[in-house]
Structure 1
């Protein structure tokens, strides 16, 4: 039998190996993530499209309306499905939050900015309907990993997207980005190029161009050894822009995780890789840092 740390190390390596093969590493993470601490409601339509569906995770035992986190997964806007991120919903629901995990249209069905319209539509659904699932729409946060962190950033920083859905900019109490690409022009990744209409990618597609003094507080987390999204150019530069505009931001970098295993560290099986879940919990529980600042 493996000792706990040895088992976690082996599991982390398995996740990394799977990410380089045809096997989904997220299926492995979900397989070892117990789901007894959350109640899930699946395949709720927030729009008319086949991929305009979402899952809601609620704490198994809940007293009163809980803060809400809408989580957008990554996949370079060409892949991903909400079922693979059940471990995120379960982990955050165990901490007492109501979690929404939406699908959104992907390339080639969609290009920029279609997936932002979908993401905003999912948030609009949440503001209207989440009270039925025990969530407090007045304590709403958006969160994402990788491409999903881009989606979350654009909803939080660029008022166009939520505005098109009739959602006020101050509807968000904060946002959380894990290993997000926030400044990637000119587009270098060949898979990403057609998604953003390269070489005619609009400059205002970049989150760093939409930082303003009225932006909601941010928690930005990245891996020091991220080989997919440069943490200095993206997380570091965006955090600097936010501070220049006096927007509250907490910026964290972790050793021992990669671009892929940063989000996997939210699972119960891999949570010791990095304190990602604790940082998110602290941020949301403190209302985006407002309560901590008031003390």
Structure 2
């Protein structure tokens, strides 16, 4: 096979340690800066937007979501569902509203989804939770005019798993018109051989069952998929994004690959708090064209 299978354990750890690849800051500092930037952006959005916070979509402590509404939700509105990263182990919906203000100002509602992170959360359960959160939003808000998924890193993986959902089991048919997958992991097998799996405790079977790359469904024709990757993501993250995008395209999906210059694994998503940022504009254009 070649590729990651030929790497030493140390090389593989390095490839799947996004904080080691940023030219801006050292490994610990970049993670801390990311926590601070996303938390501060979320606080600002909660202060300035109309919100419904801590809405339970299930019975679990973390099965809650925050909704940021446009100033004038005139009956119907497009909804962006944001799924946070943190390597399935950290972050929460409380750092996931930072992208809301540029979107709500243009009439788009944003839902930030919480889910159980490891070690208490298991991969099967996380995938089930994000799927249930989408079903819940569809049932709760009759005025949704198209759903757009957006996930970062581990959240891009979870958003991609939402794309492969058999919705007949959920009793709803969400009108998913777009997905923006940012710096994601789409094949979990390499993760099994890194420190990341110390907390996740995935078996090979669990990794295969929850790898979007292995569960590409026939194309939903109305759905646009944007696979975005940062210049300063590791080669493995970049490879995963490229190969997943190609596999979706081969299955008939409408896919764009966006390679963003001058950003790393962290600020590629943090900058969604800025209306002028290229990825913010791409998302707004995707929604306005639908």
TM-score by length of 1: 0.80
Instruction: Determine which structure has greater relative contact order: mean sequence separation of CA pairs < 8 Å that are 6+ residues apart, divided by chain length.
Output: 2
1-structure distance, mates of 2:194, 2:209: 18
Deviations 1:224-266 (CA, angstroms, capped at 9, x unpaired): 21139611x2211111111212210111110111111011010
SS at match of 1:92: helix
TM-score by length of 2: 0.81
Distance 1:35 1:221, change over 3 A: same
2-structure distance, mates of 1:84, 1:20: 13
2-structure distance, mates of 1:184, 1:94: 36
Instruction: State the superposition RMSD in angstroms.
Output: 2.8
Deviation beyond 3 Å, 4+ runs, structure 1: 12-18, 20-23, 31-37, 61-64, 198-202
Unaligned runs of 5+ in 1: 1-11, 288-295
Q: Which residue in 2 is equivalent to 1:143?
A: 150
Q: Which residue in 2 is equivalent to 1:181?
A: 185
Equivalence map 1:1-295=2 (5 Å): 18-21=29-32, 24-27=35-38, 29-30=40-41, 33=44, 38-131=49-142, 135-136=143-144, 138-159=145-166, 162-168=167-173, 171-187=175-191, 188-195=193-200, 197-215=202-220, 216-227=223-234, 230-231=237-238, 233-268=239-274, 274-287=277-290
Distance 1:29 1:222, change over 3 A: farther
Deviations 1:151-189 (CA, angstroms, capped at 9, x unpaired): 110011243xx4432233x63222211111112313243
Q: Which residue in 1 is equivalent to 2:12?
A: none
Unaligned runs of 5+ in 2: 1-22
Task: Report the Cα offset of residue 195 of structure 1.
Answer: 1.6
Task: Report the Cα offset of residue 89 of structure 1.
Answer: 2.2
**Aligned positions, number:** 265
